[in-house]
């Protein structure tokens, strides 16, 4: 029997989908997964990137979708890497990030969930403030 979904999570990352599914299951929302590499615009704004990705996902699948985008913003380096976190981690890794830091290790992790259907494009954001660990785990 074909399973019906209320909403689809669009990403190339299975782990993000499973995390979202676990959360939405607790609200009775049946979340499907559409694996896709979405267009990622170049922008200093995590919000603008997330909105563009949601539009791209909806235009591809024509179903109610959500996407998630995130970034790490480190105070001592002016909020860097921010929306460029994935590229920076692939390029210099955790050890490289630790080498950039001075005595101020304060940072925040920002996550944006964007919903899109035929008539609505809406985002929800959350942030978690903390400090960067001294060990590259």
What average pLDDT does the segment 32-53 reach?
A: 93
pLDDT at 3 over 80: no
pLDDT tens figures, 78-134:
999 999 998 898 999 888 888 888 788 899 999 999 999 999 999 999 999 999 887
What's the domain count of the chain? Answer: 1
Looking at the domain assignment, is residue 101 inside a domain?
yes
Looking at the domain assignment, is residue 136 inside a domain?
no
Helical H runs in the chain? Answer: 14-25, 46-61, 85-100
CATH number, domain at 28? 3.90.950.10
pLDDT tens figures, 4-21:
899 999 999 999 999 999
pLDDT at 68 over 90: yes
Angle at 73 between CA 117 and CA 90, to 5 degrees: 85
Looking at the domain assignment, is residue 1 inside a domain?
no
Looking at the domain assignment, is residue 28 inside a domain?
yes
Nearest residue to 64 (alpha-carbon basis) of 22, 4, 18: 4
- Burial (CB < 10 A; 0-12, 13-18, 19+), residue 56, is buried
Looking at the domain assignment, is residue 2 inside a domain?
no
Helix, strand, coil tally for the chain in percent (to 5): 35, 30, 35
pLDDT for 1 equals 41
Looking at the domain assignment, is residue 64 inside a domain?
yes
Q: Range of 105's domain? A: 7-131
The whole-model pTM stands at 0.84
Looking at the domain assignment, is residue 110 inside a domain?
yes
CB 134 within 8 A of CB 125: no
pLDDT for 136 equals 58
User: Which residues are catalytic, by number?
Assistant: 69
């Amino acid at each position: 029997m074909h399973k019906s979904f209320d909403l689809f999570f669009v990403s190339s990352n299975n782990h993000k989908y499973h995390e979202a599914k676990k959360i939405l299951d607790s609200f009775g929302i049946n979340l499907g997964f559409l694996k896709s590499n979405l267009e990622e615009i170049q922008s200093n704004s995590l919000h603008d990137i997330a909105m563009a990705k949601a539009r791209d996902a909806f235009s591809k699948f024509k179903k109610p979708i959500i996407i998630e985008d995130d970034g790490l913003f480190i105070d001592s380096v002016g909020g860097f890497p921010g929306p460029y976190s994935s590229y920076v981690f692939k390029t210099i890794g955790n050890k490289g990030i630790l080498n950039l830091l001075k005595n101020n290790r304060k940072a925040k992790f920002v996550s944006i969930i964007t919903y899109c259907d035929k008539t609505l494009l809406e985002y929800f954001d959350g942030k978690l403030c903390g400090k960067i660990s001294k060990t590259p785990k």
